[in-house]
Structure 1
Amino acid sequence: MRRYCSVGLDFKVVIAHRIHQSVHQVLDLVGTLTTNDTAQPWDIETLARHCAGASALMVFMTEVIDDGFLEQCPDLQVIAGALKGYNNIDVAACTQRGVLVTNVPDLLTAPTAELTIGLMIGLARHIVRADQSVRAGGFQGWRPDFYGGSLNGATVGVIGAGAVGKSVLRMLGGFDCRCLYFDKKPITVEEECELSAQRVSLEALQSQSDFVVLAVHLMPETHHMVNASFLGRMKPGAYLVNPARGSVVDEAAVVEALGAGHLAGYAADTHEMEDWVRDDRPHDIHEALLASDKTILTPHIGSAVAIVREAIERSAAESILAVRDGLVPATAVNPEARC
């Protein structure tokens, strides 16, 4: 296994996307720093070329790191993810080659849950459609129009009781709604009491919920978890909200459910086309979702709060600094790579 760099030795760092200037200044002190200052991600060949001789690489969701890439970058000691989920990184290959992988597990939770609540309200209350109507000159005074649903008195089902799922449930405490959740691993009784949430079967959640919120990781067993069968078991007229990962949802099946009137609306901050690790991923959001007036689609802005994004980048930078100093960061997902 390769030895790690000592304090004082030159340490080349590559940043795959633009970052906040304050974080850039911290890393400027490390050694040689190369940053992608364009608005687009580098292709993998360009990234590998910049990483020649690099000790550290800060990546985001758009970079797919596999063994072939690592083979071209033999000097890498750490891949610091400015992200929470890291299935775009082959952790096993990194471990085999002695490359630490770090992530940022906690900072994205609250802003993602906050956006989720906003999407739920925006979808049910037709906020986007109403705004567009006003801008198009359609407002001539009050009319009995844009009647929608409400969180007040609704049943909300959250699938996944991890950090984001629990944060959504906690925020729903400010509304007069009934909260259900499904997770194979139940939370504690104390947490259920705190969140006023009841654990039920997936089938019960689907059939009873006016809103279904997806808060699961993308894994083989959750890929296209929301398909035609799943949607068919949902309560007629319910809303579906996806702040999780795009490929958890079969977007074509959602189009069919919306068209049939079974699904009242769909809101998503994540989309199938951005799951770069899928060889068969679509390259665009489904046209019918874009055209529908029953959807709200946002460009993966769950963590897009300025102070949060800066903190995420700073956490990734601190992981790089720790490795530069010969340490294993607390955020390492494969600390065994250091052995």
Structure 2
Amino acid sequence: MNRKKVVVTNRVFPETRSLLEAHATTVVNEDETPWPAETLLDHCRDAFGLMAFMTDRIDEAFIAACPDLRVVGAALKGYDNIDVDACTRAGVTVTIVPDLLTVPTAELAIGLMLSLGRNILEGDRTIRKEGFAGWRPALYGAGLDGATVGILGFGLVGQAIAERLQPFRCRILAADMAKRSSAAFPFVTFAEMDRVIAEADWLVLALPLTAQTQHLIGRSALARMKPGARIVNPARGSLVDEVAIADALAAGHIAGYAADVFECEDWAREDRPREIEPRLLGDGARTVLTPHIGSAVIDVRRDIELSAARSIVDVLAGRPPAYAVNAPAGTLLEVIEDAEPAPYKNISGGR
């Protein structure tokens, strides 16, 4: 039997591999390091299916070089690294995992807020470096109780963050692009983005990366923020201008920045920086930085992979997959209407 080929670009759980191997000849990256673009392309030139991750850039040139490709099962919620329009033109179905990342990302956002405001990492470093001789009047920070938390973006992740903030008795402001009914969220005050930015003690980003949201939090927005406010970014690195953030920290205008995502990760940007802003790395007292672990919960990651793998298996079997974000000609697909992230666009220079 002539089995079709499926390529998996990053190391996966044994259950994921077994599912795919039962249906296709499967090539899997066995290492934690992503393949270089040339290696990935070499593996995919004759592939029918591809399980893609955030480290992969699936653009028009890539699609053109893979004429047999018919499905990209993205183990992702945000898919700005995939040119969905090019996939549609080439007859390639793109699927995502729309909701499994929501809860762990919201949990991490709360963890980042607590770590930043209460100087948890700085306290840990102090004990390890200096030892502990008892209480001292040091490392005073900011709590969440009664604070005004502004959330930019109120999709599934924004909603989950707001729900988890309720026990902290926060005043929650949200800028909601979809204009959801306030009756469904009585604990949230919906407001225009400028008001949310201006009034927040904590500004939490829960937006997709598009040409309109790139560097949304740049010098102008930072200047409108309260002195002493803090910013938390569990969404996409390029929602902020990291250089402007570092400048605002150095000037003492904002009190802290916590991030799980960074500009250098955003493959949709031709002009993305190739490293994290060095001044953020050097400011351990006012930053908390984690290596994109928003969904890094064992059971969740396994379920994300299996969801993407099942979509690929469905297409192999001639069935419409769940969670498709496009509908190439000749397919009968129900496209997700509420997929939050915009499809891939080259957003170089966008603001």
Assess same fold via TM > 0.5.
yes
Instruction: Supply the distance in 2 between the matched residues of 1:327 and 1:320 (Cα, whole angstroms).
Output: 10
C-alpha root-mean-square deviation of aligned residues, in Å? Answer: 1.1
Instruction: Supply the distance in 1 between the matched residues of 2:214 and 2:91 (Cα, whole angstroms).
Output: 30
- Kindly provide the amino acid, as one letter, of the partner of residue 111 in structure 1: P
Residues 169 and 179, structure 1, Cα contact 8 Å, conserved in 2? yes
1:99-248 to 2 correspondences below 5 Å: 99-193=92-186, 196-248=187-239
Instruction: Indicate the residue corresponding to 2:28 in structure 1.
Output: 35
Instruction: Indicate the residue corresponding to 2:261 in structure 1.
Output: 270
- Kindly provide the amino acid, as one letter, of the partner of residue 130 in structure 2: G
Structure 1 unaligned spans of 5+: 1-7
- Kindly provide the amino acid, as one letter, of the partner of residue 188 in structure 1: S
Question: 1:207 offset after TM fit, Å?
Answer: 2.1
Larger mean CA deviation between 165-174 and 63-72 belongs to: 63-72
Instruction: Supply the distance in 1 between the matched residues of 2:31 and 2:125 (Cα, whole angstroms).
Output: 32
Say if 1:54 and 1:45 are closer, same or farther in 2 by CA, change over 3 A: same
- Kindly provide the amino acid, as one letter, of the partner of residue 83 in structure 2: D
Residues 94 and 337, structure 1, Cα contact 8 Å, conserved in 2? no
Percent identity of equivalent pairs: 49
Larger mean CA deviation between 174-183 and 219-228 belongs to: 174-183
* Equivalent residue in structure 2 for 1:72, among 53, 65, 79: 65
Q: Does 1:312 align with 2:304?
A: yes
- Kindly provide the amino acid, as one letter, of the partner of residue 323 in structure 2: T
Runs of 4+, deviation exceeding 6 Å: none
Instruction: Indicate the residue corresponding to 1:5 in structure 2.
Output: none
Question: 1:325 offset after TM fit, Å?
Answer: 0.8
- Kindly provide the amino acid, as one letter, of the partner of residue 225 in structure 1: L
Question: 1:137 offset after TM fit, Å?
Answer: 2.6
Residues 154 and 177, structure 2, Cα contact 8 Å, conserved in 1? no
Residues 100 and 338, structure 1, Cα contact 8 Å, conserved in 2? no
Instruction: Supply the distance in 2 between the matched residues of 1:167 and 1:290 (Cα, whole angstroms).
Output: 29
Instruction: Indicate the residue corresponding to 1:299 in structure 2.
Output: 291
Alpha-carbon deviations, 1:212-256, whole Å to 9, x = none?
001111000001010011001011101100011001100000011
Instruction: Indicate the residue corresponding to 1:283 in structure 2.
Output: 274
Structure 2 unaligned spans of 5+: 332-351
- Kindly provide the amino acid, as one letter, of the partner of residue 230 in structure 1: A
Instruction: Indicate the residue corresponding to 2:84 in structure 1.
Output: 91
* Equivalent residue in structure 1 for 2:324, among 329, 332, 336: 332
Q: How many residues are matched? A: 330
Alpha-carbon deviations, 1:74-113, whole Å to 9, x = none?
1111011000111111111111110101110100000000
Residues 99 and 337, structure 1, Cα contact 8 Å, conserved in 2? no
Instruction: Supply the distance in 2 between the matched residues of 1:173 and 1:242 (Cα, whole angstroms).
Output: 19
Q: So what's the TM-score if we normalise by structure 2? A: 0.92
Question: 1:9 offset after TM fit, Å?
Answer: 5.1
- Kindly provide the amino acid, as one letter, of the partner of residue 266 in structure 1: Y
Question: 1:337 offset after TM fit, Å?
Answer: 4.1
Instruction: Supply the distance in 1 between the matched residues of 2:139 and 2:131 (Cα, whole angstroms).
Output: 12
Question: 1:190 offset after TM fit, Å?
Answer: 2.4
Larger mean CA deviation between 223-232 and 68-77 belongs to: 68-77
Residues 99 and 338, structure 1, Cα contact 8 Å, conserved in 2? no
Q: So what's the TM-score if we normalise by structure 1? A: 0.95
Instruction: Supply the distance in 2 between the matched residues of 1:251 and 1:67 (Cα, whole angstroms).
Output: 29
Instruction: Indicate the residue corresponding to 1:3 in structure 2.
Output: none
Instruction: Indicate the residue corresponding to 1:250 in structure 2.
Output: 241
Instruction: Supply the distance in 2 between the matched residues of 1:177 and 1:53 (Cα, whole angstroms).
Output: 53
* Equivalent residue in structure 2 for 1:61, among 36, 54, 64: 54
Residues 91 and 101, structure 1, Cα contact 8 Å, conserved in 2? yes
